[in-house]
Structure 1
Amino acid sequence: MNSDAMGKSMQGAGGALVLGAVFQSIIERTNLSSNTYNQSPERWLKNAFIEMHKIFEGFDGSMLVSLVIGLIEEETGFLYFINAEHPWLILYRDEKASFLENELSYRKLGTKGLNSGIFIKTFRLYPGDTIISGSDGRDDILLFSEQKESAQRQINQDEYLILSYVEQGKGDLNSIFEVLTQNGEITDDLSLIRVYYKGNGNQNFNETVSKSYQTAKKHVELGNIDAAIESLQKQILSQPVTNKRFHKLLAKLHFKRKEYSEAIEHAQVYLESHPYDIGFMELGSILLRKAGKINEAIEIAERIRLREPKAVKNTFHLIRLYLEKENAQRAKELLAEWENLYPEEKERTKKWKQILRLKFPNLLI
């Protein structure tokens, strides 16, 4: 987390202290509570963000905080994050710096009227990547070059200037700070945080494994599902730490044979190492529904929705799941959100409203 409390002197300091105390409380509760500890990254981030926002909302706009908060899965390098009017995250890759974002998602913590849904941004890091976040002091500098050309003191207006400084500093915080101070005078609070992703060292797909995978794919193309499953299972047994693509293919093959329990086992193994594969997450949720595990199916579908709120297929899959759980209110909420997002889709909305009315005659839609 990187943040900046608004206000001068004691007001800003007070905001920083409140945020630090709240965030520490969230971390400690996560470590102590098994329910919180086992939450999905998306749900944990959403809940933490809402909790912090509610705290600052209680100050009636007198204490606002910009921040970026994220989680990184060490095994996969998958980044989940939320930005509340904080300077954009910077990716430093192959000696080039770029922003991970290009639009404002949320206003500062404590801003009144934050009624829109909370959604999670994601990004896949590769070994050697560096993520850098910083407060707006990184941009608000009095440039020495402009002061020489003008009689007036001029603050930098180029939000992309920091990217060149990151490249000059080669992604190292001390070097970036030196470049900043060499080019101008810092006029606002400056904090920088850097995360370097080394990778887990188990990402190689050797030639033997590749041949086994291609052999299984050929069996599938020829329609010999049994031979493909046998080939993949032998490879998994001979190499316990094998490439997870085997599990993805096995899940699909068992799904074709309507062997949902077996398909789920392989799907879960694959998704643990490939959390960025949203398409396969959708299949995992469908598998769980067919196996009668509605709660687990809802959990995955809600995770997808937190990342891709406009995913049409997942939205209606989620409505169906809540109908099976007899949760008419949640199904109604999802349909209302869909109707607001896509007012032109009148026929589809009408169809689902009819389904809701038939299943729940007393429900007002």
Structure 2
Amino acid sequence: MDIDINYIKAIALLQKSSSAEGFLASAQNISNYKRVWARDGVICGLAALASGQDDLIDTFKKTLETLAKNQHPIGTIPSNVMTNGTETEVSYGGLAGRVDALTWFIIGICQYAFYKNDASFVEKHQLNIEKCLTLMEAWEFNNKHLMYVPLSGNWADEYITDGYVLYDQLLRVWALKSYHHFVKNDTIASKITNITEQIEINFTPNSDGEKYHERTYNEMQFDDFMPCSFSPAGYKTQFDAFANSLAILLNIGSKDFRKKIIEHAEEIRNQKPLQLIPAFWPPIKETDTDWHLLKNNFKYEFRNYPNEFHNGGSWPMVNGFYGLALLTQNQNKEAKALLEAINNANQKEDFSFYENFNTETEMPNGVPFCTWSAAATILLHQGITANFKLLI
């Protein structure tokens, strides 16, 4: 059987973006993308595992070792690392620190070890992981199992989510589950249960249990998905496609509720010309209350115009994880249609693998030759054709 050209091009981009330190976020030297990033690097690494290609898997290992080597003494994992000859430049975040660097790092170490059937790799990095777990415990602040995340504290670093951000809680569960697979620790097992319970109590409708913010929870008009975040100021109610995909992958929320999430996502996706699900929906407009959280939240240039970037833009990477979520629910037909849509987006401008697209106009945005856009094709292609599965 001929290998799909989209898959070949995606593999080639990861190979071109491989460095001695690990995966770079883009094959082009644009702003600060020619660096080893924690989340980008691990997501590319997961694609490397899915591909089964030894050269890419070796680059994944280098990515993880670069991150571990540059861990801050208090436990913070670098947002990104740039090595230029003998000098190393390490960033732990821009306008705010990056909470998800820690969770992606733990996930990466454990997924690599699981694929290689090499528990010694986890053991080698156990101190790194334990420092991350201690720091995340501190980030709860109130010791009630959900981390408190600053504005700009994760991949959606110019968006409006803050406080108890759904995406970050779910990544923490995945990280803990991945680590628990190797260490079989009762304390970690209990923590997984406690965080999961708090997610379901505070982010799903009609739940039992004491809420973090009872008044605003009771005022909420819950839709058929988990809201993106809440804080002392109340809930932010946009549909976060990445977070809700993680909830499905991790089997959090009832089976019926997870089915409703997919129905909601499919309804949005099928109405859009790209046939992709936007990262956050609906977009925030200048007349909306939350616009003030967007308008100054950038370091280089403003990118969150409605239907673009995090503000309703469509990202192949996010859709890749949504596709994996579809496969776990036996929605194979929908997953295949989604892979075709991801490939169509990645093909634009002669396979430029853009970072994201305007959801309404289909125009590309952000950085070209973006490695995690290629990773989306590889992960979903291998999930469909080779039954590749991550450690969940």
TM-score calculated relative to the size of structure 2: 0.29
Which one has the largest radius of gyration?
1
- Higher relative contact order (Cα pairs below 8 Å, separated by 6+ residues): 2
